[in-house]
């Protein structure tokens, strides 16, 4: 590598000795450049596939470590190991293929370099015999040829490592490079919680499928909205886009009239409480998790725990708020994780609460605590969006939003929406709308969402 900057100088010295020597070195160098190009073409594909399979194997093993209890209890270790081994074997095969090809070309490049040195020495000897140059030129020609071609040969021999380094750098760059957002240079005022969705469509990143399509609605500040519908209707996707977890493919999410993309996440985050469907806590103490791993404010932590109805439960633990949760909350039960995560969402009394199935893992005591928490949020005038299929959560909401197949079919005051669903269920011979999901399936045609406070005049 240190010889590479000297290659032009070696060429000029050879040219000064005799143009024929310089031409011989150019031919040898050109041959090695062609071999370098061949190395790139022949190893790039296998190296890319090898790195991809290595990442898949590592990701597969990491993700399955979270399900060790299930794997052990049901004897799945053998099949899981076989799946991991298949990915690992493909990685090793592609890596070996790239190495073999690079090794073969490296051997050819060594042959070319040694041959070029011999040609240069022979040509120098011929010139010396003819009396055109001094005998010392013969040795100088061989030395110059070796020095000039060795950097190119070294590049060929290390090409596989260079290619792997390039791929690794690209992966690191993609992981660390945040997408550009049109942040406002002006600090926006604290939001009150009014939400406006304009032609909102989107789905998971890197998948060209929109699980939510053309959602238009307005949610006034301080409203409590129950989002219901059949499974896989796009409720969780909608909440993720409102929370800023997923970026919409089309449309805009506005908070107090400002595009959510204009907010810096570190500025907007304290004003948003988010409880995802799959709850995971961050390794640390319960207090650290409730405080969102920021500054530990005991008053705010206890206030959030009481608002979530988890304070008394935490006092029963041997270490109380200093109890370690483990990786992902492994040291807590599912219900405990859910309630601690709810306290984390309520920390700091954010004006906007986004709750996705907050009662999924709760027992009767947890349900009562959640019911009281929702009543408190309603009294304090915080905007609440909650996805749930249980009546205990729905009865604490002012508005109701029905989704089906990624679209909003009904939206308005809760009682009026339930009346429309009951009427739709009765019209098809059902005894009543026992659950919102049943009413959604009974509705014949999706209707556009009405403004808040004005339910759709939808019918069967």
pLDDT of 179: 54
pLDDT band per the 50, 70, 90 thresholds, residue 110: confident
pLDDT of 186: 66
Q: Measured between alpha carbons, how far is 185 from 180 in angstroms, rounded to an integer?
A: 14
Identify the CA nearest to 308 among candidates 282, 280, 285, 289: 289
195-282+329-397 CATH choice from 3.40.50.1100, 3.30.450.20, 1.10.290.10, 3.40.50.300: 3.40.50.300
pLDDT band per the 50, 70, 90 thresholds, residue 2: low
pLDDT of 453: 40
Residues 13-28: what's their mean pLDDT?
83
pLDDT in tens, 232-241: 889 999 999 9
- Token pair 């705010």 is found at 300
Lowest mean pLDDT among 181-195, 230-244, 434-448: 434-448
Residues 309-318: what's their mean pLDDT?
91
Q: What is the mean pLDDT of the chain?
A: 82
pLDDT of 444: 31
pLDDT of 368: 85
Cut 0.85: pTM above it: no
Q: Are strands 383-387 and 399-404 parallel, antiparallel or unpaired?
A: unpaired
pLDDT of 178: 53
On the question of pLDDT at 15 being above 90, the answer is: no
The share of the chain scoring above pLDDT 70, in percent, equals 88
Lowest mean pLDDT among 24-33, 103-112, 152-161, 310-319: 152-161
Tokens (6 digits) for 460: 């069967």
Residues 95-122: what's their mean pLDDT?
86
| DSSP structure string for 304-324 | HHHHTT-HHHHHTSTTGGG-B
pLDDT in tens, 170-191: 778 766 665 555 555 667 788 8
pLDDT of 98: 86
pLDDT in tens, 249-268: 899 999 999 888 888 888 88
pLDDT of 37: 82
Lowest mean pLDDT among 69-83, 266-280, 413-427: 69-83
Strand order across the beta sheet in which 272-275 lies: 272-275, 352-356, 383-387, 224-228, 399-404, 407-413
CATH superfamily membership of 4-176: ABC transporter type 1, transmembrane domain (1.20.1560.10)
Tokens (6 digits) for 64: 């399955």
Residue 294 CB neighbours (<10 A): 12
Residues 419-442: what's their mean pLDDT?
59
On the question of pLDDT at 436 being above 70, the answer is: no
Q: How far is CA 406 from CA 200, 201, 295, 394, 446, in A?
A: 11, 9, 39, 20, 10
pLDDT band per the 50, 70, 90 thresholds, residue 460: very low
Q: Is the Cβ–Cβ distance between 230 and 441 less than 8 Å?
A: yes
pLDDT of 437: 41
Is residue 379 helix, strand or coil? helix
Residue with more model confidence, 254 or 328: 254
pLDDT of 323: 93
pLDDT of 344: 93
Strand order across the beta sheet in which 212-219 lies: 212-219, 195-202, 250-255, 258-259
Lowest mean pLDDT among 125-134, 214-223, 255-264, 377-386: 125-134
As a dihedral over the C-alpha atoms of residue 261, residue 267, residue 273, residue 275, rounded to 10 degrees, the angle is 60
Q: Measured between alpha carbons, how far is 33 from 28 in angstroms, rounded to an integer?
A: 9
Q: Is the Cβ–Cβ distance between 386 and 355 less than 8 Å?
A: yes
On the question of pLDDT at 285 being above 90, the answer is: yes
Domain ranges of the chain: 4-176, 195-282+329-397
On the question of pLDDT at 300 being above 60, the answer is: yes
pLDDT of 182: 56
On the question of pLDDT at 30 being above 90, the answer is: no
Q: Measured between alpha carbons, how far is 400 from 411 in angstroms, rounded to an integer?
A: 6
pLDDT of 288: 94
| DSSP structure string for 93-115 | HHHHHHHHHHHHHHHHHHHHHHH
**Which residues have CB under 8 Å from 83's CB, separation 6+?**
60
On the question of pLDDT at 59 being above 80, the answer is: yes
Dihedral angle sign, alpha carbons of residues 442, 445, 450, 454: negative
On the question of pLDDT at 439 being above 80, the answer is: no
pLDDT band per the 50, 70, 90 thresholds, residue 330: confident
| DSSP structure string for 401-444 | EEEETTEEEEEEEHHHHHHHHHHHHHHTT-S--SSHHHHHHH-S
pLDDT of 343: 93
**Which residues have CB under 8 Å from 1's CB, separation 6+?**
151, 154
First to last CA, the chain: 77
């Amino acid at each position: 590598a240190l010889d590479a900057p000297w290659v032009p100088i070696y060429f000029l010295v050879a040219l000064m000795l005799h143009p024929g020597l310089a031409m011989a070195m150019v031919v040898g160098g050109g041959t090695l450049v062609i071999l370098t190009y061949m190395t790139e073409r022949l190893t790039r594909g296998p190296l890319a596939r090898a790195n991809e399979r290595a990442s898949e194997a590592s990701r597969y093993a990491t993700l399955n470590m979270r399900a060790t209890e299930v794997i052990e209890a049901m004897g799945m270790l053998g099949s899981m190991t076989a799946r991991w081994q298949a990915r690992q074997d493909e990685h090793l095969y592609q890596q070996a293929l790239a190495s073999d090809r690079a090794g073969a070309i490296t051997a050819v490049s060594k042959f070319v370099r040694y041959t070029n040195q011999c040609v240069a020495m022979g040509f120098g000897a011929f010139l010396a015999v003819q009396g055109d140059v001094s005998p010392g030129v013969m040795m100088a020609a061989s030395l110059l040829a070796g020095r000039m071609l060795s950097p190119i040969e070294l590049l060929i021999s290390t090409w596989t490592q260079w290619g792997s380094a390039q791929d690794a750098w690209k992966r690191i760059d993609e992981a660390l490079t945040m997408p550009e957002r049109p942040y406002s240079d002006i600090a926006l005022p604290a939001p009150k919680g009014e939400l406006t969705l304009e032609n909102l469509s989107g789905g998971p990143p890197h998948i060209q499928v929109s699980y939510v399509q053309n959602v238009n609605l307005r949610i006034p500040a301080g409203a409590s909205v129950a989002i219901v519908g059949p499974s896989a209707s796009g409720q969780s996707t909608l909440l993720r886009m409102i929370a800023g977890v997923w970026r919409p493919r089309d449309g805009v999410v506005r908070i107090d009239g400002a595009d959510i993309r204009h907010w810096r996440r570190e500025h907007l985050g304290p004003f948003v409480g988010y409880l995802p469907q799959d709850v995971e806590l961050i390794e640390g103490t319960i207090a650290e998790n409730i405080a969102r791993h920021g500054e530990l404010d005991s008053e705010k932590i206890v206030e959030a725990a009481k608002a979530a109805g988890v304070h008394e439960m935490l006092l029963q633990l041997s270490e109380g708020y200093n109890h370690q949760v483990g990786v992902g909350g492994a040291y807590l039960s599912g219900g405990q994780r859910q309630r601690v995560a709810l306290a984390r969402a309520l920390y700091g009394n954010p004006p906007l609460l986004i709750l996705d199935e907050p009662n999924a893992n709760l027992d009767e005591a947890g349900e009562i605590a959640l019911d009281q928490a929702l009543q408190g949020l309603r009294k304090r005038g915080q905007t609440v969006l909650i996805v749930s299929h249980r009546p205990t959560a729905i009865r604490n909401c002012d508005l109701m939003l029905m989704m089906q197949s990624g679209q909003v079919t009904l939206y308005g005051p809760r009682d009026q929406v339930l009346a429309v669903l009951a009427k739709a269920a009765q019209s098809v011979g059902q005894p009543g709308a026992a659950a919102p999901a049943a009413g959604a399936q009974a509705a014949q045609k999706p209707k556009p969402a009405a403004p808040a406070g004005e339910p759709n005049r939808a019918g069967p």
